[in-house]
Amino acid sequence: MAENVKEGAIDGKANNAKESTPQEQTAAQNGAQAQDTHKGIKNIFAKQKETPQKEVAVDKVKELTDTLQRLQAEFENYQKRNTKQNEVFREYANAKLMEELLPVLDALESGMAHSKDLAIVYEQLFGILKKNGLAKIDAKKGKEFNHDIMECLMQEKNAECADNSVAQVMLTGYLLNGKVLRAAKVSVNVLEKEKEPAQENNKEKK
């Protein structure tokens, strides 16, 4: 019987150890909730810490992209300006060279009627200059005078030509890339206009 009493006492202690009081259960629940709350707060702070870093990184990438696009646009504009300046310089250089060669063309042209060799040299030289944009101004006899591409050196009266037309080409004019390099020197035909007959007064005198 003593052994049974001891076993009963041991079983009672074991049951008492397994069972917990309501206060202990409440404390355990509160502890678990506190741990969960602590973890949640840590996660919130971690996310708040990561979010500004991501926003800063995105803003930095956007800023660098905008800067790159601006620099690219400025470089393209620089290339365009540089190309345009080079074109203007080439046009100016060509115009200067062509202008200095015009007296040579004039001398060859004036001697063409007396020498076939000079005519050949003139055609060869003019052919080279023509490839670089040089062209003659059309100011042949009978052509209407155009003050934009012609210069009147004198006036004359020629019944064979219309009024205000070219009577004679005194010096050939040239264009360079469509612009006047030297106006054609011409004489202009000026005809006197016929006077209109006076109207007769047919009214009867009173």
- What average pLDDT does this structure show over 166-179? 93
Tell which wins on pLDDT, 53 or 129.
129
Do 125 and 143 sit in the same domain of this protein? Answer: no
**Does residue 31 form part of some domain?**
no
Q: Where does a domain end: 87, 106, 132?
A: 132
Do 94 and 137 sit in the same domain of this protein? Answer: no
Q: How far is Cα 65 from Cα 71, in angstroms, rounded to an integer? A: 10
Do 114 and 156 sit in the same domain of this protein? Answer: no
Which structural domain, as residue segments, surrounds residue 126? 46-132
**Does residue 102 form part of some domain?**
yes
What pLDDT, on a 0 to 100 scale, did the predictor assign at position 81? 82
Structure confidence at residue 187 as a pLDDT band (50, 70, 90): very high
**Does residue 8 form part of some domain?**
no
Do 125 and 137 sit in the same domain of this protein? Answer: no
Do 118 and 180 sit in the same domain of this protein? Answer: no
**Does residue 26 form part of some domain?**
no
Q: What is the pLDDT of residues 7-55, one digit of tens each?
A: 444 444 444 444 556 656 665 665 566 566 556 655 655 555 555 566 6
Q: Is the pLDDT of residue 181 over 60?
A: yes
Residues ≥6 apart with Cβ < 8 Å to 143:
165, 166
What pLDDT, on a 0 to 100 scale, did the predictor assign at position 14? 45
Number of domains in the chain: 2
CATH number for the domain spanning 71: value is 3.90.20
CATH number for the domain spanning 137: value is 2.30.22.10
Do 58 and 109 sit in the same domain of this protein? Answer: yes
Sign of CA dihedral 109, 114, 117, 119: positive
Do 123 and 140 sit in the same domain of this protein? Answer: no
Beta strands in the chain (DSSP E): 134-136, 150-156, 165-171, 174-176, 179-182, 184-189
pTM of structure: 0.54
Do 128 and 50 sit in the same domain of this protein? Answer: yes
What are the tokens at 185?
Answer: 């020197």
Do 79 and 69 sit in the same domain of this protein? Answer: yes
Calculate Rg over the CA atoms of the chain: 53
Q: How far is Cα 24 from Cα 17, in angstroms, rounded to an integer? A: 12
**Does residue 159 form part of some domain?**
yes
Q: How far is Cα 63 from Cα 69, in angstroms, rounded to an integer? A: 10
Do 55 and 126 sit in the same domain of this protein? Answer: yes
Do 127 and 142 sit in the same domain of this protein? Answer: no
**Does residue 142 form part of some domain?**
yes
Do 89 and 121 sit in the same domain of this protein? Answer: yes
Q: How far is Cα 72 from Cα 79, in angstroms, rounded to an integer? A: 11
**Does residue 117 form part of some domain?**
yes
**Does residue 20 form part of some domain?**
no
